[in-house]
Amino acid sequence: MELSYLEQINQAADAIRARIGSRSPEIGLVLGSGLGDLADDVSDAVAIDFGDVPHFPVSTVAGHAGRFVVGTLEGKTVIVMQGRFHYYEGYSMRQVAAPVYVMRKLGVRTLVVTNAAGGMNRAFRPGDLMLICDHINMTGDHPLIGKNEPELGPRFPDMSEAYSKPYRELAHRLSSQIRGDDGNALELQEGVYCGISGPSYMTPAELTMLARLGGDAVGMSTVAEVIAARHCGLNVLGISCITDMAIGEELEPLSHEQVVEVANRTKPKFAALVKAFVREAND
Ligand code: R1P
């Protein structure tokens, strides 16, 4: 008999628990395209390939190692997803969201979700970091469609503050203590993330539409994970690394290699911000 979604999540969590011993992660981090190196800073680390976790698919995207790393970062026990699943890889929204519930089962209360995204706001520049203050789900699908598992969360979860305001305020405070390449304090952008299905990048007309709808950045991940996180009661900090300008009237050709390369270049300030947050955050 096929296992229920909840049973699959419980089995996945049990398998990870068997590998990490007495560690109980309190913060979960999802590292997006080109941002995975931060997992190298986790000490006393146990790495678990997604392929070794029951019911998990494998991550097929370049720039996504496809594994959990559990260990210590800035004095806190963390579970890092070095890479993630995307809807366009052919996985259902429920599969994309499942790792969030698994992390919750393992004890996580705070989720840091990161991604590489195109900047639709003209005030942004490639290499900027944007705190996500809200999202627009433009994927045409939803991870909670189907039977609700009350043990995971309510049928109709509240999304009035999907991205924690106190966490955003903390991130802004912390950024003032972080120096950028020019020696000045790190300037953090803030805006609305539009989640699309991908895998093609957007046309100019589509980008003009998304900007008019209120989007500041666009990408192919994050919304399913954050919906699941709020469903199961996690507090979320979202950070987009703006890797390219996605303005309809001025659009230039784009490749995934470019996206990963620019995301990689933000590593020092991205890592400094995430680590400071991990150090200071309370759920
Ligand atoms: C496109 O270059 C890929 O980079 C981003 C997009 O969503 C897409 O998967 O990846 P992450 O959102 O996983 O960072």
**Using one digit for the tens of pLDDT, what is the confidence trace for 88-106?**
999 999 999 999 999 999 9
User: How do residues 125-150 score in pLDDT, each as one tens digit?
Assistant: 999 999 999 999 999 999 999 999 99
State whether the beta carbon of 276 lies less than 6 angstroms from ligand 1: no
State whether the beta carbon of 115 lies less than 6 angstroms from ligand 1: yes
Domains of the chain: 5-280 (3.40.50.1580)
**From the CB of residue 250, how many other CB atoms can be counted at a distance below 10 Å?**
10
Distance, in Å, from the CA atom of 225 to the CA atom of 43, rounded to the nearest integer, reads 25
Rounded to two decimals, the pTM is 0.96
> What distance, in Å, lies between the first and last C-alpha atoms of the chain?
38
Distance, in Å, from the CA atom of 249 to the CA atom of 96, rounded to the nearest integer, reads 32
Cα torsion 78, 281, 192, 160: sign: positive
What is the Å distance from ligand 1's center to 73 Cα? Answer: 24
Output the residue whose Cα is nearest ligand 1's atom 13: 32
User: How do residues 47-73 score in pLDDT, each as one tens digit?
Assistant: 999 999 999 987 777 767 899 999 999
pLDDT exceeds cutoff 70 at 209: yes
What is the Å distance from ligand 1's center to 221 Cα? Answer: 6
Question: Ligand 1 atom closest to Cα of 254?
Answer: 2
State whether the beta carbon of 254 lies less than 6 angstroms from ligand 1: no
Output the residue whose Cα is nearest ligand 1's atom 9: 220
Please choose, from the candidates 244, 259, 247, 241, the residue with its C-alpha nearest in 3D space to the C-alpha of residue 209: 247
Q: Which residue has the tokens 């496809």?
A: 66
What is the Å distance from ligand 1's center to 21 Cα? Answer: 32
